Amino acid sequence: MRKWIAFPHKEGTISRQAHADLPEEAPYEREAGRSGFFGPTAHFHHKNPPTAWEKWEGPLRPRAFDLNELDKNSNSPWGAESLLYNAHCRFRIWNCNEAMMNLARNGDGDELFFIHKGQGDLFCDYGHMEIREGDYVVVPRGTMWRIEPQEPMTMLLIEATNDSYQLPDKGLVGPQAIFDPAMLDVPSINDKFKAQQDDTPWAVEIKRRGQLSRVQYNYSPLDAIGWHGDLSVVRINWRDIRPLMSHRYHLPPSAHTTFVASRFVVCTFVPRPIESDPGALKVPFYHNNDDFDEVLFYHAGDFFSRDNIDAGMVTFHPSGFTHGPHPKAFEAGRKHAKKETDEVAVMLDTRDALEVGDAMAGVENPEYCNSWKASE
C-alpha cells in the first residue's frame, strides 16, 4: 500500500482558493500536481508569467506541427505513419479518399478514429454505419473493417496498444454527465450491409506486433446476419458532448475526459461559456507537466488559449516543464474579453513519454517555443 505525503500548508501571500481571487501583486498562478490532476497539488503565486522564458536549449520544449502539410494519402490505414508513439499508444493521421481495397484488422489494440474532415460508410463485423466529420469511432481490437468515403476523409487514428478503450468514471455527477451512454450508436445489420455480402474476393490486412499479415477470402468475410452481446464498434459525435461547466471555477482538462485507456486518456474540448464570476480564472492555469505528456489536435474554431494555431495543427508539450496560455490569451482572460469559447480540440495525455516520428520533422514550427518570450 502507498499513500501520498500530504501536509496542507500555507506560506506567504496566497489566494484562499485555487484558480480564484488571485493576488493583484502576483496574478500568475502555477499548479504543481501529481498523477495529472488527480493527485496532491501545490499552487504558487508568481509576479511574472512562469512561461516568460527568453531562450530554450535542448530537446525538452513545447512543439507545434502543422499536419496539414503532411502527405497523409494511403488506401490502407497501415500506410499512415506513427507521428507520436510509445509502447502503449500510437497517434496517426490518415487521408482516406477512395474506397478501401482491403479489410483492416488491428491485432495490437483498440483503435479510436476521430473524423476531422469528410464522411463515408464504415463496414465492419458488426454491420454498417455512416460516419462523418466530428465523429469518434471506437473499433475493438480484432474487428474487421473497411471504409467507403462519400467524400475525401481525414481522420486521427489513436491506437490503445495492447489495451482497450473504456469510459471515464463520472463520479458525483452521474453516468449521464458529459454524454449519456444512450448517445453511443452501433452499426446496423441493414440492407446496405447485406448488399455487400457477395462472392467478390477480399483480403484482410492484419496488423500484429507492428507487422502485417494478409488473409485472402473468395467472398466478403463481413457476412454476419446478426449479433448480440455488449461488445461493439461505437460512435459519438463531439456535438453530442455536453461539457461540465462552472461559472465560478476553471475546471481542469480531466473534467473533459471522453475515453480512457490504462496508460493514457483522450479528452474533448468543445464550445462552452467562459467563467463569469469576477474572481474566477478564465483561461487554463499555468501548470507543471510532471507525470503526463500532452498532445492537442486542433479540429475547428478559435483556440482561445493559443496564438497562431489553426485547425489541423498539433501541439506537443512533453512532461517536465511549466506550460499554460499564450500571453495574449492570458491578458484577454484577465479582461474577460470573450464570453464563450469557440473551439473543438482532441487532447491525448499519456503517462509514458512519447517519441516523435520522423515525418514530423518536416512540418514542425521551430519558433513555437519562442511564442511565450517575455520580450515579445
Q: Which residues contribute to the annotated binding site for homogentisate?
A: 323
Q: Quick one: which H or E segment has residue 145? A: strand 144-161
Between CA 335 and CA 166 the distance in angstroms is 39
Question: What are the angstrom distances between the C-alpha of 326 and each of 135, 301, 336?
Answer: 29, 17, 15
CA 251 to chain CA centroid, Å, is 17
**Where is the binding site, in residues?**
287, 293, 323
Selection from 165, 119, 168, 118 nearest residue 139 by Cα: 165
Q: Which three cell numbers stand for residue 15?
A: 489566494
Asked if 250 is an active-site residue, the reply is: yes
- Among residues 19, 88, 128, 250, which one is catalytic? 250
Q: What is the CA radius of gyration of the chain?
A: 22
Q: Distance (Å, rounded) from C-alpha 50 to C-alpha 27?
A: 11
Cα angle 22, 18, 263 (rounded to 5 degrees) comes to 135
Q: Residue 67: phi, psi to the nearest 5?
A: -70, -15
CA angle 87, 88, 90 (to 5 degrees): 90
Active site residues: 250
